[in-house]
Structure 1
Amino acid sequence: MRLYVLARNPTDSVTEGFLPAARRLGLDVTLLTDQPDAHRLRERPDAPEILGCDVRDFRAVISRISAHHTPDAVFTNSDHLQTQAALAAEYFGLPGKDWRVALRTKDKAQMRRHLAAAGADAVWSAELPAHQEPARLRVLDVPFPCVVKPREGVASEDVVLVEGPGQLERRCAEIRERRPGAALIVEEYLAGELHTLETLGDGRVRHVLGGFRTEVSPPPYFIEERMTFVPAHPAPVVTQVLDQLDVLGVGFGVCHTEFVVSQGQARLIEVNYRAIGDQCDLLLAQLLDIPLFERILRTHMGESLPADLGARTDGRARLDYPCAQRAGTLTAAPGATEVTSGGVRLTYRPLREVGEHHELHGTNRDFLGVVRATGTDQAAVDRTVADFLAAHHWEITP
C-alpha cells in the first residue's frame, strides 16, 4: 500500500514516529515536501522516497500524486498542511479529515467565530486582516490585558501578552515586520492553569489518551518550559473540552487541544489537529505502551479503532526544555543521554549542536534540548529530572 506523507521542515514526530511506524506496517512511503534537501540530510538506509512539491498548495499536491503512484492514504502531521492533506484525501476518495474542520481549527479567528456562533464559548476576539494597519484596532473596545498572535501561527511563534493600546499597536507592527502581510488575531487573555488533552478517533470511536499540565515562561511570552503528564483530567473538564471539539467537528485522527481551566470552566486556547509535538508524542507512545503512531496511520488507511486501545494507566512522566535566555553561540551542553535508575527511564536529546549560533526568538525555537522521563511514581520522575538538570549546564556565549 502506498502512503503519501506531506511535510514541510523535518520534525521528530515524522522522522522518529510516523516514518518508522509506516515501515513497521510494511507501507511504501512517498514524502512530499517543499524542503526536500532538509529531509535528505536525515536520510537513513530505509529512508522513504522524497519528492519536491509545493505542499502548501492542495492543487500541486493532487497533481504530484496523480502523476506518481496511486495513493492508498494521504497523511500529514504538520499544522500548516492539514487542510491540503484533507482535500487531497477527499479528491482521491480516501479516508481523512473533513477539510472544513481542518481549516476551522487552523484559522484561530474562524475557530472563535464558530464556537461563539454555536454558543459553546464566547471569547472576545478581533481579526486584523492581512495588510490592514494596526491603527485600526484603536476603534475597538479591546479588553486588556489581551493576547496578540498570528491567525494561523504555531508553537507560540509571535504570541505575546499586551497590557495597553499603545503596546498593542507596537507588538502588531513588530510581528508584521517578521511576517509581512500576516493576518493577526487579538483576543482576551484567558487566565488559568494551562493543560492539554490528547485524543484519537476514527469518526465513530474517540479515545482520550490523557493530557499534560503545561508550565510556561513568565509574560509577555508563552514558551512551554515543562510538561507533566496527566493520566486523567477531571471528568467534567474532559466533557467540556470534548463538547467543544464536537462543535468544531473534530473527531477523526489524532488531535492536540490546549485549554485553560478557570473556576471549573474549560476554555480552549487552540486546537491543533495533529499529534502533540516537541517529543511529547514519542513519550506518550512509550508511556501508554501502545503502537500509537501505527494506530494513527491505520485510521487514515480506513481501519476502525478498537473499543479498548489496551493502554497502560499507571505511567507518570515529565518533560523539561532547557531554554536559551539570550542570543549567542552554544559553547557547552550535555550530549544525548539514556539512563534508567530507580524505576525511572530518562532520555535527553539535544536540539542544538555545540558551536551553533542562534538569535533569541521568545518561542519554542529557543529550546536547547529535551529531557523526558517516565516511570510509575511522579515524585521519583520529578527527582530524576531535577537531578539531571542540576548536574548539567548549557552555556551560551554572546
Structure 2
Amino acid sequence: MSSLTGVRQAIQVKQLNPAANVTVLFRELYSAGENHPLEERVQQAKELGVTFFRYRTETPPLISEKTVDIDDPLTGQPVRLLYDRVVLAMPLVPQDNSDTLAALLGLNQDKHGFMIEARTRLVPGRYCDTGIYVVGSAHQPVDTPDVLLQAYMTSSRLRFFLNQDSLSTSAPIAEIAQETCTGCGNCVQVCPVDAIQLIQKDGVLSLAEVESLRCTGCGNCAVVCPVNAIKIPGWDDLAIVSQINAAFTSSRTKDDAEGGVHPPRILAFACEWSAYASADLAGTLRIPYPSDVRILRMNCSARFDPQHILWALLNNADGVLLGACHPGECHYGAGNLYADERVKVLKQQLADYGLDPRRVRLEFLAGDDGEGFVETITAFRDDLGRKMVKP
C-alpha cells in the first residue's frame, strides 16, 4: 500500500467521526526512522484510536460480504472483523510504458519496474556523468520530504557540471585500430555504458568507434574482440602477457621441493577494486600468504581474458586464481558476471582437452577482507598441492 497515504486517510476518518472504528490491515509499513512523517502519522493515528493489524504474505485477508477474516501473526489464531466499508489503499506502481522509457534512456529497472539510476563507483575523473537522473517516485515510492532531498542532491550534482566549460576524463579509454577492426559488433554488444557504436565507413563496411566521454575503460570489449583490434592503455595484451612471462621466470629445482613435492605456483589475476585491494590490505596487516603466489593487478574482472589464463598455465603457473567483486558490486556494472561465464566455458574446454579444470578458480572477494583473500589463496594452494605428483 502507499503507506503514508493510507494512514492519512485513516486519521481523516477518525477526525471526521471519532466514534468510527478504524482498522488498518497492512503487510509492511516502511519508514526511515523516528522523525519520518510516516512514523509521526502512525503515532497520531494510534492516539486517535486507529488499530493497526499486520498480516503475513502467505495468509492475506479474506473479504466476505460483511466480514474480513485474517490470521493473527502473533498467535496464529484466526480473527474475524466486522465492517461497514472496506477501503483499498492502492500501491504506487510504475506506468505500463515505463519499460519503454527506461530502454530509451538506457536505465535498468528493479523487479517492480521502477527505474534505477546508474551509479558509477569509480575514482572521480575516471568517468563522466551521463546527465540522466532519476528522482522521486520514478525511482521508488517516496514522500514529499524525500523527493525534496533527492531534488536538492541532484541539483548540487548538476551544478558541478554546469560550472565547467568542458568535460574530460582520465579513464583508460579503449582504443580501436581501424585498420584491424572487421566491424563484427561484439564490442558493441558487451559495452556496459554503450560507449561503442558501429559507424558506416566508405563502402559497405561499418567499423567500431569509441565515444571517449562514455568509456570507463573496463576492458570488456578487448576480451571479445576476435582480431585483437582493441587496446586498453595499461592493460593491453602485450603488457599483460609480459607480466605473465615475468611472473615465474626461474625453472624449478630439486631444492625447491618440500617433502618431495614442489609447492604449487599460483598466478592471481586480481580486480583492483576487490581482490587486489584485499591482498594489499593483507600486506598492510602483515598477514602472511604463500610465497609462490604472484599477483597481477587488473582494472576489472571484465578484463579477465581466457587467452591470458591459458598462457599463464603454459608458462609455469600450476594454478590461476581470478579475484572479482561480489555479484552486484562490480564498479563497472557486470564485469564479474561476464568473467564468471567465461571461466565456466574455459573450464569446460580444459576438461574436454584432458586438462584439470580445477587449476583455474574464480572467487568473489571484498576489497576490505584481507583475511578472506589469504584464506582463499591458501585453500587454493592446498588443493593444488594435493593434485600435484612428486617430480
Q: Please classify the TM superposition score into its range, dividing by the shorter chain length.
A: under 0.3
When you count helix as a share of all residues, which structure comes out higher?
Answer: 2
When you count strand as a share of all residues, which structure comes out higher?
Answer: 1
Q: Which has the bigger relative contact order, CA under 8 A and spacing at least 6?
A: 1
Task: Compare CA radii of gyration and give the structure with the larger one.
Answer: 2
TM-score by length of 1: 0.25
TM-score by length of 2: 0.25
